[in-house]
């Protein structure tokens, strides 16, 4: 007879990959993020992107200004790398104490990445200073070559771009963000201790059949795109393995409903309303709830060299309904699981 767990208390989680956006949207995204997260690594792909310490710190101030009163939620900031990033900018970022990472978007790879890096060799002098100062490199790992099939873009990036960076900067801490393939799992497992990966809730819960069978479902469209179920299974195995190289990074990425439900819809899935609750479902389904805390609350800060949060949250086995839409800057978004139920609730 198996006993069913009805509540689970874990160290307060963080989110190591989160899009909060800007302007009117901020109060809604920050409200969701600050419900129970200790920290979130905030992505810099704004329009215009947060390419300098000054811009990142101004963004930090805007986020903390709309933080609900009493919330201890702490945004950790990142810089958006371009072909023209000045290596000295990295020293300013380090000195700020608020910027812990830089984000490599191959130009054109994803939402708001047009000013990204066109050739990783263009940022070698920047990576040098990041390695020296201990600023992490966060990577959107996809090639943008038009001749490469969208389902192969992560694999080809891992074969052609990332090995050089890993070889040339052996002491640079690198996080391969939102991994989607068995290739990425193997790459990270086989690399040194300076290479880790985040895994989203949606890549653990879904594969491309969820997006494409029986009709095209734009709310499952994100980048890197959902892959076949064998890749999904490899990601679940990695997440529940207890391996310290894999940790939470929701990549919760809000887009207005009308920008998703259209002939050319935006890439991004919103999960901030229920991030840890959804990971709990996945881990429970895999019979590995005992591994949830390491994934959501220990491995991330350990890799970043930051203290773990010192308090806890409690998840209750309790079913609740996700609304059909959520507010986003005076408009609305459609979250993952919209109109359906979730079986865990954070108390
Ligand atoms: N993941 C996505 O599909 N979209 C993200 C960008 C990103 O993380 O690649 C976004 O900003 O909307
Ligand atoms: Zn990305
Ligand atoms: Zn993202």
For the chain, the structural domain boundaries read 13-313
Q: How confident is the model at residue 5 (pLDDT cuts 50, 70, 90)?
A: confident
Please check the confidence at residue 264 and state whether its pLDDT lies above 60: yes
**Phi, psi angles (nearest 5°) of residue 341:** -110, 160
CB atoms within 10 A of CB 3: 5
User: Vertex 184, ends 289 and 162: CA angle to 5°?
Assistant: 140
Nearest CA owner, ligand 1 atom 11 = 111
Q: State the Cα–Cα distance between residues 340 and 324, nearest whole angstrom.
A: 8
The pLDDT of residue 12: 98
Q: How confident is the model at residue 3 (pLDDT cuts 50, 70, 90)?
A: low
Ligand 1 close to Cβ of residue 252 (< 6 A): no
Residues 6+ positions from 96 with CB-CB distance below 8 Å: 53, 56, 57, 77
pTM above 0.90, yes or no: yes
Q: Is 233 helix (H, G, I), strand (E, B) or coil?
A: helix
Which residues are found with C-beta within 5 Å of the ion, ligand 3? 251
Percent residues over pLDDT 90 in the chain = 98
Binding residues for Zn(2+): 17, 19, 103, 140, 178, 251
The pLDDT of residue 1: 46
- The ligand that comes nearest to the alpha carbon of residue 176 is 2
Q: Which CATH number fits domain 13-313: 3.40.1790.10, 3.20.20.140, 1.10.3720.10, 3.30.2310.20?
A: 3.20.20.140
Q: State the Cα–Cα distance between residues 310 and 292, nearest whole angstrom.
A: 17
- The ligand that comes nearest to the alpha carbon of residue 112 is 1
101-128 pLDDT per residue, tens: 999 999 999 999 999 999 999 999 999 9
The pLDDT of residue 238: 99
Residues 6+ positions from 98 with CB-CB distance below 8 Å: 56, 57, 60, 76, 77
Annotated catalytic residue 290: no
Mean per-residue pLDDT of the chain: 97
Ligand 1 close to Cβ of residue 19 (< 6 A): yes
Cα torsion 122, 124, 126, 129 to 10°: value is: -170
Nearest to 12 by CA among 32, 40, 31: 40
Please check the confidence at residue 192 and state whether its pLDDT lies above 70: yes
Q: How confident is the model at residue 4 (pLDDT cuts 50, 70, 90)?
A: confident
The pLDDT of residue 296: 99
Backbone region of residue 136 per phi and psi (left: phi > 0; alpha: psi in -120 to 50; beta: other values): beta
- Helices and strands (H, E) in the chain, number of each type: 14, 13
Q: Ligand 1, residue 266: give the atom nearest the CA.
A: 12
307-345 pLDDT per residue, tens: 999 999 999 999 999 999 999 999 999 999 999 999 999
The pLDDT of residue 249: 99
Where helices occur in the chain by DSSP H, the ranges are 26-33, 53-65, 87-96, 124-133, 153-160, 162-168, 182-190, 201-205, 208-212, 229-239, 257-260, 275-285, 292-293, 299-304
Q: Ligand 1, residue 105: give the atom nearest the CA.
A: 9
- Of 15, 251, 290, 311, the active-site residue reads 251
Q: State the Cα–Cα distance between residues 143 and 126, nearest whole angstrom.
A: 20
Nearest to 83 by CA among 113, 38, 112, 43: 113
ipTM higher than threshold 0.90 = yes
The pLDDT of residue 20: 98
């Amino acid at each position: 007879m198996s006993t069913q767990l009805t509540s689970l208390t874990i160290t307060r989680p963080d989110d190591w990959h989160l899009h909060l956006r800007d302007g009117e949207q901020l109060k809604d995204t920050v409200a969701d993020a600050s419900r129970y997260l200790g920290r979130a690594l905030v992505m810099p792909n704004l329009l215009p992107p947060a390419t300098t310490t000054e811009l990142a710190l101004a963004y930090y101030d805007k986020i903390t200004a709309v933080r609900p009163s009493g919330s201890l939620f702490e945004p950790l900031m990142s810089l958006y790398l371009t072909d023209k990033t000045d290596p000295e900018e990295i020293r300013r970022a380090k000195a700020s104490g608020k910027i812990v990472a830089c984000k490599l978007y191959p130009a054109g790879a994803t939402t708001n990445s047009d000013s990204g890096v066109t050739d990783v060799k263009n940022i070698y002098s920047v990576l040098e200073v990041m390695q020296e100062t201990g600023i992490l490199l966060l990577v959107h790992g996809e090639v943008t070559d038009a001749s490469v099939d969208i389902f192969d873009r992560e694999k080809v990036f891992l074969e052609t771009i990332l090995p050089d960076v890993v070889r040339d900067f052996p002491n640079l801490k690198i996080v391969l963000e939102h991994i989607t393939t068995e290739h990425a799992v193997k790459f990270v497992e086989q690399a040194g201790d300076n290479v880790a990966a985040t895994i989203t809730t949606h890549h653990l819960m879904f594969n491309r059949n969820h997006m494409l069978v029986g009709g095209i479902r734009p709310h499952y469209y994100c980048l890197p795109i959902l892959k076949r179920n064998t890749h999904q299974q490899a990601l679940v195995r990695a997440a529940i393995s207890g391996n310290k190289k894999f940790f939470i990074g929701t990549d919760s990425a809000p887009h207005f409903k009308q920008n998703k439900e259209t002939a050319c819809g935006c890439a991004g899935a919103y999960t901030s309303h229920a991030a840890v609750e959804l990971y709990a479902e996945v881990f429970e389904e895999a019979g590995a709830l005992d591994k949830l805390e390491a994934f959501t609350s220990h491995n991330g800060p350990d890799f970043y060299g930051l203290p773990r949060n010192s308090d806890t949250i409690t998840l209750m086995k309790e079913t609740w309904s996700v609304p059909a839409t959520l507010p986003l800057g005076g408009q609305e978004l459609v979250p993952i699981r919209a109109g359906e139920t979730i079986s865990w609730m954070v108390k």
